[in-house]
Amino acid sequence: RRSWLPALAGLAAVVAGLTSAGADVLRVGVLPTPAVAFLTATYGADLGIVLSASHNPMPDNGIKLFARGGHKLPDDIEGEIETAVGVGPSIRPTGELVGRVRDADDALERYLEHLLAAVPQRLDGVHVVVDCAHGAASVAAPELYRRAGAQVTAIAAEPDGLNINAGVGSTHLDGLIEAVRRHGADLGIAHDGDADRCLAVDRAGARVDGDQILALCALSLR
């Protein structure tokens, strides 16, 4: 059973703060950071917010912000937000002016459809081991690769809200290398906790670093 109670406590605090300032909140659930950027644009939101420790341990959780359209906020705007948080609100809405909260039940499906539309060819016959870092990719990544046609073996895909990045994921490749060799897979992919990056290993267990992955993507786009 997956439990996200430690992370959900932070989420509740952020939602409470936003609604108390009069903002309406659309909760998308536990999704990769790039999904929130995409959904911020898709839903026409004014702001996207991610609670994440990225590739770090759970106690390092922080807040990532996306501007309208899913773009990164300029540094000067982030500075103004930090100042405003320190000062506190000058006005607190009451009654009907308090923000509303609702859940986006189609968020994961929208993101998966978006990614599948970008796949240039199916992965039929390819066996992939995916290390989900006990994080935000634990549902999305295995499902995506399966829909693309791959045979998927998922590891570190049992998050409990505390074990994210704990000896697994893109900063700890030993478990992925062992799994690829044991299962005779064609490749292994390791995400970090919020799944905005990845590293890979080939069928022999040799590491494929980020520079090599970027070069492959650049050649493919060209």
Q: Which residues are tagged catalytic?
A: 54
Question: Strand 62-67 relative to strand 198-202: parallel, antiparallel, unpaired?
Answer: unpaired
Output DSSP code: residue 68: T
The closest alpha carbon to 63, from 47, 45, 76, 43, belongs to: 47
Q: Answer yes or no: are the C-beta atoms of 173 and 193 closer than 8 Å.
A: no
Other beta carbons less than 10 A from residue 171's beta carbon = 15
> 215 with 194: CB under 8 angstroms?
no
Among residues 55, 35, 12, which one has the least CA distance to residue 107?
Answer: 35
**Dist. CA 50–CA 30, nearest whole Å:** 9
| 46, 59, 128 from 164: Cα distances, Å | 29, 10, 21
